[in-house]
């Protein structure tokens, strides 16, 4: 990617990378507005149906899901601004970078490093959020879970964070999907808050031999004029299973095999280890398959409906081979 990307103050309202990949797929096969709207509507409907399934409710409103004009505009804008497509005579075409990225996804590769690099270079707001969290004690922030912009801004300024609520939510959601930070909701002094924490390490190892091109981690990039290397956090299997067991016992008050919500145990464990949801899912799956020390079992059910739309999608656990969600987890030590 060229180093001459233009920067933009406003981040388009795109909170899921799937919309970007769906848009690129349509462009690759010959762009049309109608085809793109249909593709995005299908994805939007898929997300809503999965959320309804997870909370045990009926089907979402079909009429509302067909309205994708704003989503189309934002997805096209973001894709163009980060250099994945170009517009010529009203038609979108893939750039070489966009085509390479789409092939990477099609081949099962990880697009996270590239997308993070592009977002950091194009939108200074991403840099500001990462820098602000990295500068805090514990590399985390506790912010209100609210839709009231003034309330959010009042708390954000305490962290010297000037981005607005709209921008923060977009940065938070995309960055957590890319595995760079994580978050969960909790009550603090009876107030509904969100705890946002880094699941990556930002170091000053300029010129590190480990840092590769923008398609891979460790990623060398710039944050507020400082050249840094970003590396996703990982946990070894032994540390993971011991931390999981500890957090599980805390949640169940030391009662083995008592069901707890998958998403709740995942949030506590990810926070303790500073890892992403995806890392947790991978390690938990490995533990379920076979472990000589602990038994981890998953069960079906429904998520609490009290969560808002973003919270439900964030809390979706993996599915079993039968297509049902792992809503609950139970854990115990294996008998010798």
Q: Residue 63: left (phi > 0), alpha (psi -120 to 50), or beta?
A: alpha
- Per-residue pLDDT, averaged over 271-298, amounts to 97
Average pLDDT in the chain: 91
Residue of higher predicted confidence among 102 and 2? 102
Instruction: Let me know: does 31 contact 4? Beta carbons within 8 Å.
Output: no
Q: Global pTM?
A: 0.92
Please state, in angstroms and rounded to a whole number, the distance separating the CA atoms of residues 22 and 134: 32
Instruction: Let me know: does 209 contact 224? Beta carbons within 8 Å.
Output: no
Q: Which two tokens stand for residue 26?
A: 């349509």
pLDDT for res 56: 76
Q: pLDDT tens for residues 46-95?
A: 998 888 888 876 665 555 566 789 999 999 999 999 999 999 999 999 99
pLDDT band at 306 (very low <50, low <70, confident <90, very high): low
């Amino acid at each position: 990617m060229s180093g001459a990307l233009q920067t933009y103050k406003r981040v388009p309202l795109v909170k899921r990378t799937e919309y970007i990949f769906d848009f690129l797929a349509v462009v690759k096969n010959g762009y049309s507005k109608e085809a793109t709207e249909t593709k995005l509507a299908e994805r939007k409907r898929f997300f809503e149906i999965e959320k309804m399934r997870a909370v045990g409710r009926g089907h979402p409103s079909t009429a509302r899901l067909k309205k994708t004009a704003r989503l189309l505009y934002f997805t096209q804008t973001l894709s163009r601004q980060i250099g994945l497509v170009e517009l010529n005579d009203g038609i979108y075409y893939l750039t070489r970078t966009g085509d390479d990225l789409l092939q990477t996804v099609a081949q099962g590769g990880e697009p996270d490093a590239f997308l993070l690099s592009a977002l950091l270079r194009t939108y200074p707001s991403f840099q500001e959020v990462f820098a602000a969290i990295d500068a805090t004690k514990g590399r985390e922030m506790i912010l209100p879970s609210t839709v009231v912009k003034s309330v959010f801004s009042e708390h954000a300024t305490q962290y010297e964070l000037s981005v607005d609520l709209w921008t923060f939510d977009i940065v938070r959601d995309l960055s957590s999907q890319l595995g760079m930070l994580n978050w969960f909701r909790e009550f603090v002094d009876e107030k509904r808050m969100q705890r946002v924490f880094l699941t990556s390490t930002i170091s000053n190892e300029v010129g590190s031999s480990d840092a590769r091109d923008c398609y891979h981690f460790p990623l060398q990039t710039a944050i507020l004029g400082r050249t840094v290397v970003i590396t996703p956090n990982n946990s070894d299997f032994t540390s993971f299973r011991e931390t999981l067991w500890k957090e599980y016992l805390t949640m169940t008050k030391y009662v083995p095999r008592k069901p707890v919500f998958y998403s709740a145990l995942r949030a506590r464990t990810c926070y303790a280890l500073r890892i992403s949801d995806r890392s947790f899912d991978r390690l938990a799956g490995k533990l379920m398959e076979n472990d000589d020390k602990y038994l981890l079992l998953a069960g079906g059910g429904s998520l609490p409906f009290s969560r808002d739309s973003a919270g439900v999608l964030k809390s979706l656990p993996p599915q079993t081979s039968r297509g049902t969600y792992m809503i609950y987890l139970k854990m115990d030590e294996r008998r010798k």
